[in-house]
Amino acid sequence: MDFTDKVVIVTGAGRGIGFAYAKSFALAGAQVVIAEYDEQTAAQASEKIKALGKKAIAIKCDVSSETDVNQTVSAVIKEFGKVDVLVNNAQRVPDIRPAEETTPEDMKMAWSTGAFGTYLFTHACLPHMKAKKFGRIINVASMSGVVGDPGNSAYGSNKEAIRGYTRQIANEYGEYNITCNVICPDAMTELAKDFFAANPDTFKDAKLQIPLRRFGDPEKDIAPVVMFLASPGGNYITGQTIGVDGGMTEAR
């Protein structure tokens, strides 16, 4: 896949699957923008990509801050004149607990960094994509939300809001050649490692629930699907949810 001359924003690309998206798009020729609130990992991520001779910049941005998001998109437009691809990947994940013990802070953490951040970035990019009659937006949800995993009411409900918002954008902006899709990934990342360290009993079970019996690899298994949705091959796909999870969502 060739993304030469394409401008790609990936939120939360300092580490994990977000970094895999950023690196993969850059290796395919894109100018990548890492929008990440952890200044240190953001800088390290862009340095790693530049060390490969590819194009990346890091912008410190909290996706839950309207000011940060608008400033980030303005800076990208000023520097590069457009946004071709937006990957709304950033997310903070509250601890697992029953719905009745889920706190307002859990809800705010999940929704502000997930659904609200997805809204803010999409909202800021849409006028620029509309003007160019081109835009590829890929949002990130989770199997947890799709199946209503117990203990995940804050995170899961927020991820399902992202799927609903995806369909809205697909319907309202298709006429401007803007597609909007959502993937539900499953990969062994820092986030997943933290989760399994806190919930060791779930580790064995988790693998058994994946028909392919392994966790996904961010670069080899997840990033290529996001790139496909942003490539000409994905031109006629919009409003869809794609499980990139070894078959786990459908199998449950």
Nearest alpha carbon to residue 90 among 32, 144, 36, 44:
36
Q: Is 61 helix (H, G, I), strand (E, B) or coil?
A: coil
Compute how many other C-beta atoms are within 10 angstroms of the C-beta atom of residue 201: 8
The least CB distance from residue 225 to ligand NAD, in Å, is 12
What residue spans of 28-114 are helical by DSSP H?
A: 39-51, 66-80, 104-113
Nearer to ligand NAD, 1 or 191 (CB): 191
Nearer to ligand NAD, 113 or 122 (CB): 113
Nearer to ligand NAD, 3 or 121 (CB): 121
Is 176 designated active site?
Answer: no
Nearer to ligand NAD, 29 or 43 (CB): 43
Catalytic hit among 119, 155, 165, 173: 155
| Beta carbons within 8 Å of 151's beta carbon, 6+ residues apart | 96, 97, 98
Interacting residues with ligand NAD (CB under 6 A): 11-12, 14-18, 36-38, 41, 61-64, 89-92, 113, 117, 140, 142, 185-187, 189-192
User: Which residue in the shown chain puts its C-beta closest to ligand NAD?
Assistant: 16
The least CB distance from residue 36 to ligand NAD, in Å, is 5
Lookup: tokens for 223: 């990033």
- Distance between CA atoms of residues 202 and 207, nearest Å: 9
- Distance between CA atoms of residues 80 and 190, nearest Å: 32
The least CB distance from residue 175 to ligand NAD, in Å, is 28
The least CB distance from residue 68 to ligand NAD, in Å, is 8
Active site residues: 155
